[in-house]
């Protein structure tokens, strides 16, 4: 019985092998793709890749801006503790000095925003920090986004020409 069954399978396999070449010639099933079809597929893939890349770059930029704002928030927290720590600070005169903890936050902000300017101003009573954000999309000249924090707890986002440290407060 097993021998008969295997002979039937072999016979059917041979029939399939014989039929396939005939199908190839009659119906053009195994002909392949034309050059035009390949070019159309490649063009569609290129358009989709462009759209995806643009969206990904937008999200990367928004992520960097979030990192800048997070570092500014940490700097604001540090500024609130500046007079109460054990370093003996009696006023904000040395808040922005190079080599201090505030400078570490500023350096990190500059690393994220591509070494664009971060302004830190201080006097005895107050301090203020303004940092450039990375523009998302097309931005007109002189309309770069900035983020400003100061010793009064203000956090503002605006445009470079309209938001800056006025003396030592965000204006």
Express each pLDDT in 59-103 by its tens digit: 999 999 999 999 999 999 999 888 887 677 888 988 998 888 899
Determine contact, residues 168/121, Cβ cutoff 8 Å: yes
Give the residue from 86, 75, 88, 84 showing the smallest Cα distance to 151: 75
Residue with the two structure tokens 């010793």 = 151
Determine contact, residues 87/99, Cβ cutoff 8 Å: no
Give the residue from 136, 135, 138 showing the smallest Cα distance to 160: 135
Which residue would you say has higher pLDDT here, 132 or 168? 132
**What pLDDT sits at residue 164?**
87
Mean pLDDT on 120-142? 88
Residue with the two structure tokens 């080599």 = 99
Whether the full predicted model's pTM is greater than 0.75, yes or no, is no
In this prediction, residue 27 has a pLDDT band, given cuts at 50, 70 and 90, of low
Mean pLDDT on 125-147? 88
**What pLDDT sits at residue 10?**
46
**What pLDDT sits at residue 18?**
46
**What pLDDT sits at residue 162?**
86
């Amino acid at each position: 019985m097993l021998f008969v069954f295997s002979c039937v399978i072999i016979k059917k396999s041979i029939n399939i092998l014989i039929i396939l070449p005939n199908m190839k010639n009659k119906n053009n099933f195994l002909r392949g793709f034309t050059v035009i079809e390949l070019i159309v597929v490649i063009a569609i893939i290129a358009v989709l890749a462009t759209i995806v890349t643009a969206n990904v770059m937008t999200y990367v930029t928004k992520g960097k801006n979030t990192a800048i704002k997070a570092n500014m928030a940490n700097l604001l927290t540090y500024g609130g503790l500046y007079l109460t720590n054990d370093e003996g600070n009696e006023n904000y005169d040395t808040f922005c000095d190079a080599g201090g903890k505030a400078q570490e936050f500023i350096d990190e902000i500059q690393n994220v925003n591509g070494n664009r300017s971060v302004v830190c101003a201080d006097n005895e009573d107050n301090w203020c920090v303004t940092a450039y954000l990375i523009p998302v999309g097309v931005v007109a000249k002189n309309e770069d986004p900035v983020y400003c924090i100061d010793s009064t707890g203000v956090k503002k986002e605006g445009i470079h020409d309209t938001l800056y440290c006025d003396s030592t407060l965000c204006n």
